[in-house]
Amino acid sequence: MQREIEIPQSLSHLLSVVGPVWAQDVPGNVRKMVDHFTPLLAQCPKTGVEVTRGLAYGSDERQLLDVFTSDRSSSKPVVVFVHGGAFVDGHRDRSDEIYSNVLYYFARHGCVGINMEYRLAPKHPYPAGTQDVEKAIAWVRDHVSDFGGSPASIYLIGHSAGAAHAASYAYNCHRSSSKASQLRGLVVVSGRVRADNSPENPNARKVEAYYGSDSSLFENISPVSHVTSESVPTMVAFAEFENPLIDIYCLELAYRLSLAKRKAPRMVFARKHNHTSIIAHINTADDQLGREILAFIKDCETESLAE
């Protein structure tokens, strides 16, 4: 079996240097993380994982997904990953290794992984990203059994803006009806789950490109506003060093879930990590977040069997 790769001292040092000044140059620091994690992830375990790339779930050129599986014969939980990019940018292949690392990890640990792409603002404003998640989930339900996945056990993981789209779908924000999302679980990682164009938000103009500039509408279109006692089981994770306000919005989501469900959700505070490394480190030997997500999936599967 291919061994787990440790994060080298040089990269650990870079994380400690970049973290406290992360917000001073978010785009530049994101590039640093991608540039340093990509060669590391190239060495990380992939043996036994079959990847089928570029499957269309819609007619737009960005409505594509990749499937990662280690066994087509069983019926495994399915992890669907929605990448970030501040609503106007991003790609399911942020580099040759990022974000495939996320799906390799879950495929190696008994799941079918789906890496999806979606349409971007300003050409495709709200709720286009969420509609794409809905369409991709429909594709997964129809086809994932061909790859060894269970259409009844779908888990949605969203990072950053991708978490806004994922949570909007999971909490039915964009629907006029109360039709359930039929997910088994949702994982919000460093999610911009509240729309805002505050001066504190360096990505305010990008938020406006997707949601519009009328801030009076933001409360109703923010996923945190749609949490109820019936909301899908949710896990929340964020980094010690986040893009401004992201940590606050993740905590707000956890608080609202706690109030609604009368129980705190599973949470991870990724110490020493930043907004990018919290995702980029997955499939290395540092697997605290990965193990917590796998434990969340196991708990959800157990609860489903008990119903």
> In CATH, what class is 26-306?
alpha beta
Q: Is the pLDDT of residue 180 over 70?
A: no
CB-count exposure of residue 47 (10 Å: 0-12, 13-18, 19+): exposed
- CB neighbour list of residue 86: distance below 8 Å, 6 or more residues apart: 160, 161, 203, 206, 207
Say how many residues make up the chain: 307
Question: What pLDDT sits at residue 181?
Answer: 64
Which tokens in the block code for residue 118?
């979606």
Instruction: Pick the range with the lowest mean pLDDT from 22-31, 40-49, 155-164, 172-181.
Output: 172-181
CA dihedral 210, 290, 109, 91 (to 10 degrees): 30
Q: Give the pLDDT mean for 187-197.
A: 97
Question: What pLDDT sits at residue 3?
Answer: 79
Assign 178 a pLDDT band (cuts: 50, 70, 90).
very low
pLDDT tens figures, 103-134: 999 999 999 999 999 999 999 999 999 999 99
Q: Give the pLDDT mean for 279-291.
A: 97
Q: CA 169, CA 246: separation in Å to the nearest integer?
A: 19
